[in-house]
Amino acid sequence: MTIDDIARELNISKTTVSRAISGKGRISDSTRDRVMTYINEINYRPSAIAQSLATSKTMNIGFVMPGEADIVDMPFFQTCIWGITSMAARMDYDVFISMVSATDISGLVRLVENHKVDGVLLGRTYTNDKAIAYLQENKVPFVTIGSTDVEGVIQVDNNDRGGCTELTSLLLFKGLKKLALIGGNSTHVVNTNRLGGFLDGFKRAGVTPDESLIHMDVTGMYMMDKIVKDLLAQRVDCIIGMDDSICNAILTNLVREGIYVPQDMKVASFFNSSMLEHNQPSVTSLKFDVAKLGMTACTTLLDLIDGKEVLPRNLLGYEVLMKESTQIM
């Protein structure tokens, strides 16, 4: 049935029916109750297109993720997208996915300028973030999945720094004093947070880190091979991968070199995923609820779009998984 049909059945105007359904405009409580009771009886549901026209909403949100080729294989983004889309569907929203990089945000610009979305979720934050600057300048509602120092940005993130601090200090207290860290792109805020947590862990344990054992911006197998061989020659106690992908590459290199974990080398990761789940031996790592992260970010954005008050920063917890890969033999 349409609003016209309902108006005829109840012998009232279309405007009165619209006001009763939307909750806007002057109308008596008894009339509103009468309309709502009737539409519940007939299981009436407004057309999504009509709703969007009436509210000037598209009923779409955008999820902007990094465009690096290896991202598609990363369980983090797969799980995060599942969390976002499942929550959006509950609220009658659809999700557009767009790719950007630190220097090219043309995909995001198209979403905004073509009026395809009501708001945006940024799936990665950068140290000099063009996407954040663009969205602020154009007054588009948005939430970052990740941290940023830019003032006024609504953020939902895992407590990466706190988790990395705790895991690093636990490894040091186990007697693994010579810790090496292999990390990715240092323009990614998540990586700078994890590096900060690593250094904080040394501070908590009262130990001075050997900064020559910290390797950031590691890309490609050749570079990884060389660094792992150098760390083996330096007889480090443990190699920590900044994420699951890097840790997996470390483990692959150790197998190639005939090095046994944990007998010959201890290994840990600052992020756990299905990529590491079935490794033998099991890998010491940090576990985050990525689906919850996506769902929380989506809910926050939809509340922001509706003009509701939201937390400026929401940090989700973590779990430290101490496994066989760092066992003292």
**C-alpha separations of 49 from 46, 56, 226, 263, 310 in Å:** 9, 10, 57, 63, 27
Mean predicted lDDT score pLDDT of the chain:
91
User: Could you tell me which residue, 43 or 156, shows the higher pLDDT?
Assistant: 156
In this structure, is residue 51 part of a structural domain?
A: no
* Three-state secondary-structure class, residue 214: strand
Residue 45 banded pLDDT, cuts 50, 70, 90: low
Considering the domain boundaries, does residue 180 fall inside one? yes
Judge if 36 and 9 occupy the same domain.
yes
Q: Are 74 and 93 in a shared domain?
A: yes
Whether residues 178 and 284 fall in one domain: yes
Residue 75: predicted pLDDT? 86
Residue 139 resides in a domain:
yes
Within-domain flag for 129: yes
Which pLDDT score, from 0 to 100, does residue 46 have?
A: 63
Please report whether residue 53 resides in a domain: no
- Residue 21 in any domain: the answer is yes
Q: Which residues pair with 267 in a beta bridge?
A: 239
Domains identified in the chain, total number: 3
Whether the Cβ atoms of residue 280 and residue 126 lie closer than 8 Å to each other: no
**Nearest in space to 209 (alpha carbons), one of 255, 169, 245, 155:** 169
Distances from the Cα of 160 to the Cα of 2, 286, 313, 328, angstroms: 51, 9, 14, 25
Write the CATH number for 36: 1.10.260.40
For 160-195, how does the pLDDT look when each residue is reduced to its tens digit (9 = 90+)? 999 999 999 999 999 999 999 999 999 999 999 999
State yes or no: pLDDT of 47 exceeds 80.
no
My answer on whether 277 and 306 are in the same domain is no
Judged against a pLDDT cut of 80, whether residue 54 lies above it is answered with no
Question: Does residue 54 belong to any structural domain of this protein?
Answer: no
Which tokens in the block code for residue 279? 């490794």
pLDDT per position as a tens digit, 102-137: 889 999 999 999 889 999 999 999 999 999 999 999
Has residue 65 been placed in a domain? yes
pLDDT of residue 53: 44
Same domain? 146 vs 295? yes
Peptide bond preceding 262: is omega within 30 degrees of 0, i.e. cis?
Answer: yes
Residue 182 maps to which CATH number?
3.40.50.2300
**Per-residue DSSP letter, 89:** H
**pLDDT exceeds cutoff 90 at 23:** no
Note the pLDDT tens digit of each residue in 238-292. 999 999 999 999 999 999 999 999 999 999 999 999 889 889 999 999 999 999 9
Looking at the structure, do residues 253 and 267 belong to the same domain, yes or no?
A: yes
**Domain around 251:** 160-288+320-326
Q: Residues 122, 72: one domain? A: yes
- Please indicate, yes or no, whether residues 198 and 255 belong to a single structural domain of this protein: yes
* CA distance linking residue 26 with residue 239, whole number of Å: 67
Residues 191 and 278 in one domain: yes
Same domain as 67, residue 34: no
